[in-house]
Amino acid sequence: MRIFSTDHKVIGLQYALTSLVFLAIGFIFILLIRWHLAWPTDPIPLIGALLGEARSADGVLLPDFYLQLGAMHGTTMVFLAVVPLAVGAFGNYLIPLMVGAPDMAFPRLNALSYWLYLLAGLVMMAGFFLPGGAASSGWTSYPPLANIATMGQTAWLLGMFVLVLSSMLNSINMIVTILQLRAPGLTLMRMPFFVWAMFVTSFLLLIAFPPLQAAAILQLMDRLAGTSFFMPSGLMVSGKALEATGGGSPILWQHLFWFLGHPEVYVLILPAFGIVAEVIANITRKPLWGFRAMVGAALFMGTMSFLVWAHHMFLTGMGPTMSGFFQVTTMIISIPSVIIISALVLSLSGGSIRFTVPGLFALGFLPMFAIGGLTGLPLGLAATDIPLHDTYYVIGHFHYIVAPGTLFALFAGIYYWYPKVTGRRMNDLLGKLHFWGSFIAMNGVFLPMFLQGLSGMNRRLYDGGRTYTAFRGFDGSFQIQAWSAAILGLVQLIFIVNFFMSLRRGATVGNNPWNATTLEWQTTSPPPAHNFAQTPTVHRDAYGYGINPGSKDPGLHRDFSPQGEP
Amino acid sequence: MNVPYTTARRSDTGVNNVTLGMWLFIASEVMLFGALFSSYALLRASATDWPSGPQTLSLLYGLINSVVLAALTSVVWRARSRSPQAARPLLLLANSLGSIFLIVKSLEYQHDITANLLPHVNTFLAMYFTLTGLHAAHVIAGVAANFWVVKGRVDDAMFAGRVRALALYWIFVDIVWLIIFIFMYLL
């Protein structure tokens, strides 16, 4: 296997391994934070001593480093771990297989997109070794704070610039592959829901990311060329008037950032919906309930996601008219999510569900995403958002969507497609331990956040805000969260062991171990170069589960009809 | 391996991969420049005083470059219906026009800098340098792409597809320039 390969399968695996490493890095960042919040004066065991004097005093995090960890945890998880895993890894590996294509439409651009992603990640991480450390103005990099931050912020901006290029190449590739390289007979409505989800996701990345690139260029100009795009007039820093022409608008950054930021939420969740839909159809042995409505909902959700961004900005004083508009659009966009999640739940009814490991993760996704989604409604209305803004309630809300939500879906996907990629199955018992351990530990971390947030606990306070009288009394819940996070980490070790052990010891499987219907299961495991011995022809829609009397197959006892078989 | 529909049209979508890819790229670029133009509008609308473009910048440089870039675009546009033998010299001609554009642009920058018209002086100049700089980067990328197509040894259908994509790209770069020209130099 060549490192500089243009094969979409190799690139998909490169994306997968790199993003899993970033996932681990982002998780270590938060472990340090969790320890610090629970026991702010105790030195961090093991790693504390390695952090160095600039970052810790005798193993206790220093305030600046605490802020760097917070900003880089968010950045790493969203931009370098979850999206590249969902879109770069799953998308690259599976889309050509699912549409019956020999490769992506532009294989060389595909390789370039991976290497740019890696470069972007390294540039951002390099911030930790610059004087003043990494970016520390939150993952949202709000100016004027970010404008006057240390050099790490410049690394963050340069990394973001490169990352947007990478994401643009990947999404162009994805859209062209889906539209142009579909096998004969694979009409749009015959495409699996995962392909539809990736199609909408790619459009969101293509259209929503460039405004953040523009914002990054403007902030780089502010930091390097002394301009004042985001610097208001008369700004005082540390008691001194800042030397800048002024006249800029910090709110402009927020508009540009959230114009990406909100569609990004759907970039995080749509691939998860796609994976869960594939797995649920497979474990219930039934066609998806309301497939056409799900596709319509995904398209509507994608479109609406461009019209909701300012619900992140109710506190900027943009006025009741603007707030009113964005509240309405925000309430409207909850409808397609509910359609998709309801269709998935209804798909379960009447099925004889097979509780495989991917199935457990997919089923775990449903209530977790529901908690995350429903707790978001109060944040979409200005009256309730204003007191909850910047509290742990917000953190609880979006982590339920991306951590036990999207990450569970991604784990479901890893367990589900692992046999296709390696030709071996992952260990079931270890998989189940991984699921139940993660399920309990995730809730132990995130459930207390709602209560903390409702009591007013602010999201970014060093030492958990113990300096302030109002924020004392959270020690108990912070410690529950720290223990849960530690257990969550240990449970992931089971996954890592299982992942590598199964490469050699896993039970070997045939082409189609799950008796699934979509095209990727009709080639060998792992698929050969260029995927299919001959271009497949598609004869039916993606979920030919259940005994099909129309099938010419003599074995009517078989409960699935692959898309590629007549 | 051959990726299907790289040059041939797919009947149900009506395009080939290269053309569709270029349109999607342009869609993305529209959002990039669109965000910058929106920022320009917002900053200008909320500014207490905004310098007059025609009085600050030199209209002559802008006009010359508008003509040069329009000529460049029409040359590439003409190349798209030609055979590779006829198209290659046209693309090289386009590249010399691109070089003229960049030379004029750097002379203009030099003129600005000596007159102390620098990005940190005011938000108008900050926007001017950001937009024209990013646009010039697109011209450089286009010139490099032209060279890459001229040097490429591919079959005629592939070559024609590439030139068509180049033509789309240059039209986009030209339109962006016209918008910059109108909002920076004229208004």
- Tens digit of pLDDT for each residue in A330-363? 999 999 999 999 999 999 998 889 999 999 999 9
What is the structure's pLDDT at B109? Answer: 96
**Cβ neighbourhood burial of A510 (10 Å; 0-12, 13-18, 19+):** exposed
B88-94: list long-range contacts, CB under 8 Å, 24+ apart.
B88/B150, B91/B146, B91/B149, B91/B150, B91/B163, B91/B166, B92/B146, B92/B150, B94/B146, B94/B170
SS (H, E, C) A21-52: HHHHHHHHHHHHHHHHHHCCCCCCCCCHHHCC
Are the Cβ atoms of B25 and A172 closer than 8 angstroms? yes
pLDDT tier at A559, thresholds 50, 70, 90: confident
pLDDT tier at A325, thresholds 50, 70, 90: very high
Go through the domains of chain A in sequence order and give each one's CATH number: 8-228+248-522 (1.20.210.10)
Question: What average pLDDT does range A414-422 have in this prediction?
Answer: 97
Nearest-Cα residue of chain B relative to residue A177: B17
What is the structure's pLDDT at A547? Answer: 65
Per-domain residue ranges of chain B: 17-186
A520 secondary structure, DSSP code: G
Nearest-Cα residue of chain B relative to residue A530: B1
pLDDT tier at A44, thresholds 50, 70, 90: very high
What is the structure's pLDDT at A467? Answer: 87
Report d(CA A504, CA A445) in Å as an integer: 34
Are the Cβ atoms of A218 and B24 closer than 8 angstroms? no
Percent of chain A whose predicted confidence (pLDDT) is above 90: 86
Q: Does residue A557 have a pLDDT over 80?
A: no
Query: pLDDT by residue (tens digit) across A225-284?
Result: 999 999 998 888 888 888 788 889 999 999 999 999 999 999 999 999 999 999 999 999
Q: Which CATH class is domain B17-186?
A: mainly alpha
Report d(CA A462, CA A439) in Å as an integer: 28
Among B39, B43, B116, the strongest candidate for a mutation testing the A interface, having the largest count of A CBs within 10 A, is B39
pLDDT tier at A47, thresholds 50, 70, 90: confident
Number of H helices, E strands in chain B: 6, 0
pLDDT tier at A552, thresholds 50, 70, 90: low
Are the Cβ atoms of B31 and A245 closer than 8 angstroms? no
Q: Which residues in chain A are contacts of B36 at CB distance < 8 A?
A: 214, 217-218
Structure tokens at B1: 């391996």
Report d(CA A417, CA A7) in Å as an integer: 18
What part of B 132-151 touches A (C-beta under 8 Å)?
134
Helix (H, G, I), strand (E, B) or coil at A242: coil
A236-237 and A60-61: which strand pairing?
Answer: unpaired
Question: What average pLDDT does range B139-161 have in this prediction?
Answer: 95
Higher pLDDT, A214 or A51: A214
Chain center to CA of B140: 9
Predicted model pTM: 0.95
- Phi and psi at residue A437, in whole multiples of 5°? -60, -50
Q: Of the candidates B3, B21, B126, which has its C-beta nearest A221's C-beta?
A: B126
Q: Does residue A549 have a pLDDT over 60?
A: no
pLDDT tier at A2, thresholds 50, 70, 90: confident
User: For residues A385 and A378, is the Cβ–Cβ distance under 8 A?
Assistant: yes
**Mean predicted lDDT score pLDDT of chain A:** 94
Are the Cβ atoms of A210 and B13 closer than 8 angstroms? no
Determine the straight-line distance between the first and last CA of chain B, rounded to whole angstroms.
53
Our CA-based measurement puts residue A67 at a distance from the nearest CA of chain B, in whole angstroms, of 29
Q: Which of A318, A210, A208 is nearest to A263 (CA)?
A: A208
Query: pLDDT by residue (tens digit) across B80-138?
Result: 989 999 999 999 999 999 999 999 999 999 999 999 999 999 999 999 999 999 999 99
Among B1, B6, B28, B117, the strongest candidate for a mutation testing the A interface, having the largest count of A CBs within 10 A, is B28
Our CA-based measurement puts residue B161 at a distance from the nearest CA of chain A, in whole angstroms, of 14
Q: Does residue A372 have a pLDDT over 60?
A: yes
Are the Cβ atoms of B13 and A256 closer than 8 angstroms? no
User: For residues A527 and A520, is the Cβ–Cβ distance under 8 A?
Assistant: yes
Are the Cβ atoms of B120 and A228 closer than 8 angstroms? yes
Q: Which residues contact A273 (CB under 8 A, 6 or more apart)?
A: A193, A197, A294, A298, A340, A344, A409
Determine the straight-line distance between the first and last CA of chain A, rounded to whole angstroms.
35
How many residues are present in chain A? 566
Q: Does residue A556 have a pLDDT over 70?
A: no
